[in-house]
Amino acid sequence: MKLLASGQTEPRKVTSGPELTPTRMVELVTERCADWEYEAVSIGYPGLVGTQGPRAEPGNLGPGWVGFNFAAAFDRPVRILNDAAMQALGSYDGGRMLFIGLGTGVGSAFIAQHVIVPLELGGLPWRGPRALWKTLGRDGLQRLGKRAWRKEVVRALHIFANAFSVDYVVLGGGNAKYLKNDETGTRIGHNLAAFRGGFRLWNVPDVSTLSAEGEAPLERTPAADWRVI
């Protein structure tokens, strides 16, 4: 887990793992951030999220996330968004944007006019009954090799960009580093954008220090009311 508070410049890390429960997560976060002052919390969750929080248990963490009272546990207001949608929100620069996260699986989200639409494109069938995330995710990268995997990614990106009629596509996730902007026609994002997305959920002005080395800083956007559907 990576943590950052507005007004701070250095993210902190906490080890998670397949046995992590929400109760333990809250304990670890509050301990690690005891010297930080914050009035509200944003959480990027690796799974489906509804208006009342997580809608499904994550596949790579411990149980108990659905129905957990995060606001009571943190003793602060909490807003929760799918982690891919959180990074997409932090990468948004106006217009119609599609975000694709390439990691263990495939994260996805669509944003237009400050409306955030979390997607599950990774579950679509791809070249037969195999789900898309099995090809574009980590398993597909290891099975196909980088060259063939890149071709599959580029093909999928062209299809989705046309289907959603987007102005631009942003790639995120740990495996986006294996792609180049000129071969995909996209912008390669950075994981730090997830922090920017967390701040935007509370209409906190963008923090200039979140521009990673090599990443052109986004124009500062005024506070806006973001809507998730």
CA separation for the pair 55, 30 (Å, rounded): 24
* CA 191 to chain CA mean position, Å: 8
Indicate if 93-188 has the same CATH topology as 2-85+192-223.
yes
At residue 181, the pLDDT reads 67
* pTM: predicted TM-score of the whole model, two decimal places: 0.84
At residue 189, the pLDDT reads 81
What homologous superfamily does CATH list for 2-85+192-223?
ATPase, nucleotide binding domain (3.30.420.40)
Residues β-bridged to residue 98: 110, 169
At residue 192, the pLDDT reads 82
**Domain regions of the chain by residue span:** 2-85+192-223, 93-188
At residue 141, the pLDDT reads 96
At residue 146, the pLDDT reads 94
Architecture of domain 93-188 in this structure: 2-Layer Sandwich (3.30)
Integer CA distances (angstroms), 215 to 91, 115, 192, in order:
11, 24, 10
At residue 224, the pLDDT reads 61
CA separation for the pair 183, 150 (Å, rounded): 9
Residue numbers of the chain with a pLDDT score lower than 50: 208-218, 220
